[in-house]
Chain A
Amino acid sequence: MSMKKNYVVETIRKAQMVQLLAQGKRIDERALDQTRPITIETGLIQKANGSARVTLGNTQVIAGVKIATGTPFPDTPDKGLLVVNAEILPMASPYAEPGPPSEEAIELARVVDRGIRESEMVDLTKLCLVPGKTVVTVFVDCNVMNVDGNLFDATSYAVVAALRTAKMKKYVVKDEKAEAKDEMIPVPVERTPVSVTLARIGDKMVIDPSTEEEASMDMRITITTDDEGHICASQKGEASTITPAQVLEAADLSLKVGRAIRDQIIEATK
C-alpha cells in the first residue's frame, strides 16, 4: 500500500499553528510535550495469542500476536524468532492504496521492530526448543485502521501491549522433538520499551504530531527508551537536517514523556 504524501495543510491553518507555537501552544490546545489521549484495549482477537487495539487521538492500530514453530537463523541457533509486520490499510486514509507495502509501511514496521528487538523486550533465548533445529517464532502483525498522525508510536504501543498480554502453549521437548501442550504460559517478556516521536515545525519540537502537524513539519525523530532509562532505538525522518542539540533535546524529552506512557501501558496490560 502506498501513501501519496498528498495532504495539503491550509496556509491559514499553518499560520495559526506557527503563531500558537510561538506562545507555547498547539492548534488542538495541547502543550508542546503533551500526547493526545491514549487508549489501550487488549484481548480483542481471541484466535490470536495476544492482541491490542491502541488509539492515539484518532490514529488507531490493531496488533495481533501469532505463535508458531520454525527453524532458527544459522548464526543464532539458540534464539527464537521475532517478526514484526505492519500494513497501512486502504481504509485508514484517503491517501492509502492497496498493494504490497510502501516504503512508509516498511519503515514503520522496521522502526517499531527495532525498538522492540534492541530493548530485548522478548527474551529470544527463552524461545529456543531444540538448538539449531526448532525454535518458537513470534509474529506480530499490525493493521493501521485509521491515520491521524504518529503511526510510529501508536503501532509501537499496540505491539508492546499485545506482547505483554500474549499467551502461548507450553512446549515440552522429548528426543529432539517439541510438542505443544494445552497449558498456556505468558510469552516471555522482560521489559516495556516506549516509543516517543517528535516533529519539528519551524524551530519548535512537538510531541505526538497529528495529521496537520505532520503535514507542516520538516523533520521527525522517533526515540525508543526502556524501563532503565536506556535509549534503544532511534530514527530521524523527512528529507531535512537536525542539529546535535535538537537530537539531545529529543532524547531527554523522550525519556521524560516515555515514563508516564510506560506506566499507562503497564497498567493497561497487568
Chain B
Amino acid sequence: MEAKKKLISSGKRLDGRSWDDLRPIKLQVGLMKNADGSAYIEWGKNKIMAAVYGPKEVHPKHQVLPDRALLRCRYHMAPFSVDERKNPAPSRREIEISKVIREALEPAVIVEDYPRTAIEVWVEVLQSDGGSRCAGLTAASLALADAGINMRDMVSGCSCGIIDDTVVADLDDTEDKEGSGDMPVAIMPNLGQVTLLQVDGMYTREQFQKAFELAIEKGKQIYGMQREALTTRFFGGEAVSTQVEEVAE
C-alpha cells in the first residue's frame, strides 16, 4: 500500500514554501478598457480578472432599491481554467461563491451614496489553483476602488488551513484537496472587521484560532499589495505626502 504523500516535511511544503509563506502575487489595476474599474491578479497559478460597472441603471426595473445601490456579483470559472474542462454554465459552487463574495464586499461599499442604481462586479477565473475566491475578491475590491465607488475600506482576503496536522497559510489546489482543512477569510483591514468566513475541515480549538489569526495577518499583508497596486496606477509610484503652499482660491 502506497504511503500517503506528505504535504509538508521538514518545514517545507511541496512547492518549497514554509508554513506561513504566501505564493507569489502580482496585481495590476485598470487593464480592461470598457469597464468602469478593473484589476487582474495572479496568485500562485491563479489568474483572475475582476471588473466593475456602475453605478448604472437597474435592469429589470422592478429590482431597484429606492435608498441604495443594488450590488451584484458573479464569480465564474472559464471552462479551460481547471484540469478537467468545466461546462460554462454556472455550477452550484460558483453560485455560492458569487454570493459570499458579494456579501464580503458589500459592507465596504457605501451603497447608500448611489440610490436606485446597480453596481455590478464580475470575477472571471481564467486559471484556478486553490484560494480563488479570496484572490477574486481581493481583485474585486481593487476594481471597485478603480471605478471610484465610495468605499469605507478595502477588502482583502486569504485562505489558511491544515495540511499534515500543521496550520499553514495560503493553500494551493493540491494542499486544499489532500489537506484536512481550508478556511477562506476576508477582512476590512482598517476597520478590523471580518466580512468573509468559511470553514471546512477538522480543527482543534487551538488550530482553529491559529489558522483564523494567521488568515487575518495574511489579509493585512495582501492589503499592503493592494495599496501598492493602486498607488502605481494612480500616482505613478510611491504614494507621498507633501507640504505645499496654500494658495487663496
Contact = CB atoms under 8 A, between A and B. Distances in A.
Q: Answer yes or no: A and B touching, Cβ < 8 Å.
A: yes
Interface of A: 44-48, 51, 58, 62, 64-66, 68, 85, 87, 89-94, 97-98, 100, 139, 141, 143, 145-148
B189 to A, nearest CB: 26
B47 A44 contact: yes
Interface stretch (B48-56, B149-157, B223-231): B48-56
A90 B45 contact: no
B83 A91 contact: no
Interface in B28-79: 32-35, 38, 45, 47, 49, 51, 53, 56, 59, 74, 76, 78-79
Given A47-B80, A143-B124, 7 more contacts: A48-B80, A90-B120, A94-B34, A100-B89, A141-B80, A146-B32, A146-B33
Given A45-B126, A64-B78, A145-B49, A87 B84 contact: no
A100 B78 CA distance: 14
Contact of A47 (B88, B89, B127): B127
A85 B124 CA distance: 16
B122 interface: yes
B127 A45 contact: yes
Contact of B78 (A68, A93, A141, A148): A141
B63 to A, nearest CB: 13
10 contacts: A48-B81, A58-B33, A58-B34, A62-B78, A64-B80, A87-B88, A89-B124, A94-B53, A98-B74, A148-B33
Contacts of B92: none
Contact of A91 (B38, B84, B129): B38
B31 to A, nearest CB: 9
Contacts of B82: 47
A51 B34 contact: no
User: 4 tightest CB-CB pairs across the interface, nearest first?
Assistant: A64-B80, A91-B51, A66-B85, A141-B79
Contacts of A62: 78, 126
A91 B89 CA distance: 17
Contacts of B74: 90, 98
Q: Main secondary structure on chain B at its contact with chain A?
A: loop
Nearest to A95: B34
Contacts of B78: 62, 64, 141, 143
B80 A65 contact: yes
B33 A91 contact: no
B45 A47 contact: yes
A94 B56 contact: yes
Contact of A93 (B34, B59, B89): B34
A216 B34 CA distance: 19
B180 to A, nearest CB: 24
Contact of A146 (B34, B45, B83, B84): B34
B178 to A, nearest CB: 18
Nearest to B173: A47
Contacts of B83: 47
B120 A139 contact: no
B85 A45 contact: no
Contact of A51 (B38, B53, B80): B80
A105 to B, nearest CB: 10
Contacts of A143: 78, 124, 126
A66 B129 CA distance: 16
Contacts of A98: 74, 76, 122
Nearest to A58: B33
A265 B69 CA distance: 45
B191 to A, nearest CB: 28
Nearest to B129: A47
B81 A45 contact: yes
Contacts of B84: 66, 68
B81 A92 contact: no
B14 to A, nearest CB: 17
Contacts of A148: 33-34
Contact of B47 (A45, A90, A93): A45
Nearest to B56: A94
A147 B35 CA distance: 10
Contacts of B35: 91, 146
Contacts of B79: 64, 66, 85, 139, 141
A182 B136 CA distance: 32
Nearest to B122: A91
A68 B86 CA distance: 11
Given A66-B85, A85-B88, A94-B56, A145 B47 contact: no
B34 A92 contact: yes
Q: For A46, A51, A141, A147, which residue has the most chain B Cβ atoms within 10 angstroms?
A: A141
A84 to B, nearest CB: 11
A91 B124 contact: yes
Contacts of B56: 94
